[in-house]
Amino acid sequence: MKNEPKILLIYTGGTIGMVKDYKSGSLKAFNFNKLLKNIPELNQLNCDIDTVSFIDPIDSSNMNVAYWVEIASLIEVHYESHDGFVVLHGSDTMSYSASALSYMLENLSKPVIFTGSQLPIGDLRTDAKENLITSIQIAALQEKGRPVIREVGLYFEYKLYRANRTTKINAEHFEAFQSLNYPPLAESGVHLKVYKENLLTVRRSKKLVVHKNMCKDVAILKLFPGLGEQVLEQVLAIPDLKALILETYGAGNAPTEEWLVSQLKKATKKGIHIVNVTQCSGGGVLMGQYETSEHLKKMQIINGKDITTEAAITKLMYLLGAGISQKLFKSVFETSLRGEMS
């Protein structure tokens, strides 16, 4: 008889790991070593669960590149000994972290499932238990001795999404995340339904490569009516800036004013990569469809297609950290590496 799948639970912080102290009414960190005692339902899952926690769990608003490296390193250390990973993370920056990890874990052939909750685990109406239990169940799913999910996913409120396709869209509903440009990988109802046609196909033979060099010399600028030349000029003049995401209107449109064209041309000549990403939640960039994006296309601005801002900024950090040459950068960015764009 085959051993039960081994799942590693990585707690980074966030609401899901909090329990209410009923005497004081305040929230305190949950002891994950007592997980089975507090959530006896986990005993019904056909898997072994190990837990590891950040020494100092953090609010996800404090998430940064060093913590991404810590999560990736924990997965690297336990990769051979475990069959799947569940990362417990605050919901505010979860889409950024999960997108970053999808790039950092090259040749991933095991599930890495991010989850969290809107209410603490000890709360009467909590969503934490369901999110946690189902995430572990998904991470333990196997077929013919191989994991069913072999990519970084994000599970929240009955749906598993490809992590680098997600955006947090609501601060108070249980359905906090959406993947507007890509269908769910699985849905949890009376039965757990996996949509195999939506899963990332993985070449099994390659060994996991963990990329820990993420470049932080990037920025995001959201266009708005009334944006002045000085703002764009100052952003592009940031010392050591290597890439800028321009959040444009609709299908990738931007003002055709001469100052904007001139500033972007000057920046690209300096070697700064400019990526055109739509500020709309769904849909993508279609450069050249309208006159207001024709000038960006002519300038060879990078086409972000239907990538999310979260996946775009972390992809920039990853590609710059990997030292992709100036010449190849545009074509590599415009290529889907982990299923992050169509």
Could you read off the pLDDT of 153-199 as tens digits, one per residue? 999 999 999 999 999 998 878 888 999 999 999 999 999 999 999 99
Q: pLDDT category, 30, cuts 50, 70, 90? A: confident
Which residue reads 């009516």 in tokens?
225
pLDDT confidence of residue 296: 93
Question: Domain 6-210 classified CATH 1.10.3720.10?
Answer: no
pLDDT confidence of residue 303: 97
* pLDDT, mean over the chain: 93
Listed in order, the ranges of the chain carrying CATH 3.40.50.1170 are 6-210
Q: Is the pLDDT of residue 37 over 80?
A: no
DSSP result, 144-195: TTEES--SEEEEETTEEEEGGG-EE--SSSS--EE-TTS--SEEESSSEEE-
pLDDT confidence of residue 175: 83
Listed in order, the ranges of the chain carrying CATH 3.40.50.40 are 218-333
Q: What is the mean pLDDT of residues 54-83?
A: 95
What lies within 8 Å, CB to CB, of 284 at 6+ separation is: 181, 251, 252, 278, 304, 305, 306, 307, 341, 342
pLDDT confidence of residue 1: 39
Measured torsion, CA atoms of residues 51, 52, 57, 63, in degrees rounded to the nearest 10 = -110
Question: From start to end of the chain, where are the E strands?
Answer: 6-11, 18-20, 27-29, 48-53, 84-88, 105-106, 112-115, 142-143, 146-147, 152-156, 159-162, 167-168, 177-178, 186-188, 192-194, 209-210, 218-222, 243-248, 273-278, 302-303
Q: Is the pLDDT of residue 19 over 90?
A: no
Q: pLDDT category, 36, cuts 50, 70, 90? A: low
- Residue of 282, 4, 54 whose CA lies nearest to 165: 282
Measured torsion, CA atoms of residues 221, 225, 226, 228, in degrees rounded to the nearest 10 = 30
Tens-digit pLDDT profile for residues 206-242: 899 999 999 999 999 999 999 999 999 999 999 999 9
To the query of whether residue 15 is one of the catalytic residues in this protein, the response is yes
Q: At what angle do helices 258-269 and 229-236 cross, to 10 degrees?
A: 10
Question: Domain 218-333 classified CATH 3.40.50.40?
Answer: yes
Name the residue with higher pLDDT: 24 or 275. 275
Q: What is the mean pLDDT of residues 97-113?
A: 97
Q: Is the pLDDT of residue 97 over 90?
A: yes
Share of the chain above pLDDT 90, in %: 77
Instruction: Quote the pTM value.
Output: 0.95
Share of the chain above pLDDT 70, in %: 99
Beta bridge partners of 193: 187
DSSP state of 202: -
Catalytic option among 12, 15, 126, 308:
15
How many angstroms separate the Cα of 114 from the Cα of each of 1, 84, 97, 134, 251? Answer: 30, 11, 9, 11, 30
Q: Is the Cα dihedral 50, 53, 59, 60 positive or negative?
A: negative
Half-sphere exposure for 175 (CA within 13 Å, toward CB): 5
Q: Is the pLDDT of residue 20 over 80?
A: no
Q: Is the pLDDT of residue 96 over 60?
A: yes
Round to whole Å and give the CA distance between 171 and 155: 16
Tens-digit pLDDT profile for residues 244-300: 999 999 999 999 999 999 999 999 999 999 999 999 999 999 988 888 889 999 999
